[in-house]
Structure formats: structure tokens, C-alpha cells
Amino acid sequence: MERSIERAAKDLAGSGYAIALTGAGISTESGIRDFRGPSGVWTKDPEAERRAYLSYQRFLDDPKAWWRESVTAARILGDLDKAEPNPGHYSLAELERLAVLKCVITQNIDALHEKAGTKSLLEYHGSVSKLRCVSCGSRFSRAGFSLEKMIEEDRLPPRCPQCHGVIKSDTVFFGEAIPGDVAHRSLEEAERCDLMLICGTSAVVFPFANLPRIARQRRGVTIIEVNAEPTPLTEERVSDYLIQGKTGEILPEIVKAVKNIRG
Ligand code: NAD
């Protein structure tokens, strides 16, 4: 383990354009369950996965009813507003401050990279802290909408202040296309990087899981995984090597080693 941490630090310190990809695994140490790990939401309750697949159609069929339910329903991942970043998130923010990491592309919707201070951030599946207009794609802070009051006053669904389109949560539902701006910029990053650090993802959700495969097609790109268990990227040799363990423990060690190399 120590040797692969040193190796990752050397690779990062020597890279010209390193990016990180993250998934639910980086947030489990903040108390947010993942979906497919041993204690994951889907692993423990496969029926919840089936229900989640129906959510987008329910929204399209009746956005008002969807909003009424969603404002009052218990969230599947708990109260994400109360969650705090862990050493894994802070380590990626630190690597950005050290000018090693140029961008983080996350599948997570929990806004913890933003809270940890990462500036160059692409939220591939959106964020719980934002809402998005389905017509013009504008995003708004969720805090700016008083949704409970809108229920009371029978004003749901929320409408876009710019084009009057229906507003949904910014989080991308199963069956919904990835918003064009984020999909496009993520592809550009995958095509540009010479190092990809992949943290805490099972890498089975597409199209996100294509990003490492796109990077792999170019010569000279180093792909490192930090994950609790091997993934298809490990098995198909898309990644060069796996550092197996917890992101909240391994990433701070990598940062320390990068700083040692930099002197
Ligand atoms: P996943 O649940 O499919 O896989 C998580 C992976 O991380 C597993 O391989 C697991 O073994 C590993 N892992 C768990 N804890 C870890 C730790 N401390 N250190 C290192 N590895 C750890 O997650 P995914 O690949 O991100 O796909 C799930 C989808 O669900 C994503 O699209 C995401 O949007 C959504 N999701 C988001 C959150 C969140 O925002 N925190 C949580 C659950 C699911």
C-alpha cells in the first residue's frame, strides 16, 4: 500500500493535467450511504432501485404531484444538508490548491466537494443544492425557492424566472439525459487529461463510466483508482493500478507524499 501511495504521488507530481473522478464511495465516510457497496442502498433494498427508475417518468407526467411528494418525502440518502466533507474531499481540494489537480468531475449530488473548497468542479449528476429549468437549462440555488410555502399557496411546480419553464431538481434522474453543458465539458476534460485519479466509484453507471475508457484510448495517460474493492475498470485494465482502501485515509497520504516530493 505504502509503495502504491508513493507511486501515485510521483505520478501526480509529474503530471501536466491531472483530473479526478469521484463517486458515492468518497462520501461514505461523511455518513452518506453509497448505492452498490456492501451496505449500499440498492444492495440492501433492491426495490428502492426499481422505484428510483420510475421517478423521472412520474416527474414528466405530473411535475406538480412530483414536487408535492418530493418536498415532504424522506430522502433516500438522508438529510444531505447536514453532511460535512471528510478528509477525502479536503484532500482533492488541497491537490487543486497545489495546482496538481485541474478539475474534479463527480457523480455525487451531495455538494460536499463544493463545501470542501474545490473550485473547478463538474457535477455530472447535478446537485441537491440546486434546481434546474427543464426548458432553458438555467440553474438556481435551491435555498432561493421557498418550496414549503409554494405547497401552501398551491403554486407548484416552481417556474423558471427567466423563461417560465418547469423547474426540477438539478439532480439527474435515471432515464434523464446528462445536461449538455456538463456532459460536454466532462468529455473535454477526459480527452485532455494526462492523469485520471478515480475515487470511490463502482464505475458501472453510464455514461459517466465511459470517461475513463475515453482517456484510456490515448497513449501516455495514467489512470489510478482508489476504491474499497476492485471494479470493472480494474478487471478490464482500464486503470493502471488500484490502491485498495478508504479514500478518507488514502487521499490524505497521497497529498502528504506529493508535498514531500515538491519539497
Ligand atoms: P456506487 O454505490 O455504485 O459505488 C461506490 C463504490 O465506492 C463501491 O465500489 C464501494 O465499494 C466504494 N466505496 C465505498 N466506500 C468507500 C470508501 N470509503 N473509500 C473507497 N471506496 C469506497 O457509487 P457510484 O459509482 O458513484 O454510482 C452511484 C450513483 O448514485 C452515482 O451516479 C451517484 O450520483 C449516486 N449516489 C450519490 C451519492 C452521493 O451523492 N453521496 C450517494 C449514493 C449514490
CA distance 169 to 134: 9
Residues of the chain with pLDDT under 70: 73-74
Predicted pLDDT at 69: 84
Q: What is the CATH number of the domain that holds 62?
A: 3.30.1600
CA of 135 to the centre of ligand 1 (A): 30
Q: Is 36 in the pocket of ligand 1 (CB under 6 A)?
A: yes
Sheet containing strand 130-133, edge to edge, reads 139-141, 130-133, 167-169
| Beta carbon of 109 within 6 Å of any ligand 1 atom | yes
Last residue of a domain, one of 143, 169, 195: 169
Phi, psi of 166 (to 5 degrees): -70, 140
Asked if 184 and 115 sit in the same domain, the reply is yes
**Cell (9 digits) for 221:** 495517460
Residues catalogued as catalytic: 125
Q: Are residues 241 and 122 in the same domain?
A: yes
Tell me which residue of 40, 117, 83, 91 sits closest to 197, measured CA to CA.
91
Report the C-alpha gap between 246 and 214 in whole angstroms. Answer: 26
Q: H-type helices in 134-239, by residue range?
A: 147-152, 180-192, 210-216, 232-235
For residue 74, the model assigns a pLDDT of 62
Domain end, chosen from 150, 169, 188, is at: 169
Model confidence over 55-95: pLDDT tens digits? 889 999 999 999 988 877 667 777 788 899 999 999 999 99
Please tell me the distance from the alpha carbon of residue 160 to that of residue 245, in angstroms, as a whole number. 44
- Regarding whether 103 and 27 lie in a shared domain, the answer is yes
Q: How many CB atoms lie within 10 A of CB 33?
A: 17
**What CATH number is associated with residue 262?**
3.40.50.1220
**Cα 165 from Cα 158, distance rounded (Å):** 9
* Atom number, ligand 1, closest to the C-alpha of residue 29: 18
Q: 164 with 184, same domain?
A: no
Q: Torsions phi, psi of 110, nearest 5?
A: -85, 0
Given 169, 194, 224, the domain boundary residue is 169
The residue contributing the CA closest to ligand 1 atom 19 is 246
How far is residue 170 from each of residues 173, 182, 195, 246, measured CA to CA in Å? 9, 12, 29, 28
Range of the domain at 152: 34-76+130-169
Going by their DSSP bridges, the two strands 130-133 and 241-244 should be labelled as unpaired
Query: Which residue is closest in CA terms to ligand 1's atom 22?
Result: 25
CB of 40 closer than 6 angstroms to any ligand 1 atom = yes
Give the pLDDT confidence score for residue 81 in this predicted structure. 82
Do 152 and 240 share a structural domain? no
pLDDT of residue 52: 82
CA of 262 to the centre of ligand 1 (A): 31
Q: Are residues 232 and 136 in the same domain?
A: no
| pTM for the predicted model, two decimal places | 0.94
Pair (196, 229) in one structural domain? yes
**Does ligand 1 come within 6 angstroms of the Cβ of 28?**
yes
Name the residue with the closest Cα to ligand 1, atom 23.
24
Predicted pLDDT of residue 104: 98
For residue 47, the model assigns a pLDDT of 86
> Do the beta carbons of residue 98 and residue 262 sit within 8 Å?
yes
CA of 27 to the centre of ligand 1 (A): 7
Q: Is 108 in the pocket of ligand 1 (CB under 6 A)?
A: yes
Residues 138 and 236 both lie in one domain: no
* Å from CA of 137 to ligand 1 middle: 26
The predicted structure's pLDDT at residue 53: 84
29 Cβ below 6 A of ligand 1: yes
Residue 111 to residue 197: CA distance in whole angstroms = 19
- Domain total of the chain: 2
Report the C-alpha gap between 122 and 235 in whole angstroms. 27
Contact status, residue 184 vs residue 214, Cβ threshold 8 Å: no
Q: Is the CB of 27 under 6 A from ligand 1?
A: yes
* Cell numbers at 188, concatenated: 473535454
Q: What is the pLDDT of residue 37?
A: 81
> Residue 69's Cα: distance from chain center in Å?
25
Same domain, 219 and 90: yes
What does the pLDDT read at residue 73?
65
If asked whether residues 152 and 250 sit together in one domain, one would say: no
Q: How far is the CA of 228 from the centre of ligand 1 (A)?
A: 10
Residues 161 and 118 in one domain: no
Characterize the bridge pairing of strands 167-169 and 195-199. unpaired
Residue 40 backbone dihedrals phi, psi, to 5 degrees: -65, 160
- Closest CA to ligand 1's atom 2: 35
Do 226 and 197 have their domain in common?
yes
Specify the pLDDT at position 106: 98
Answer whether the bond into residue 157 is a cis peptide, omega within 30°: yes
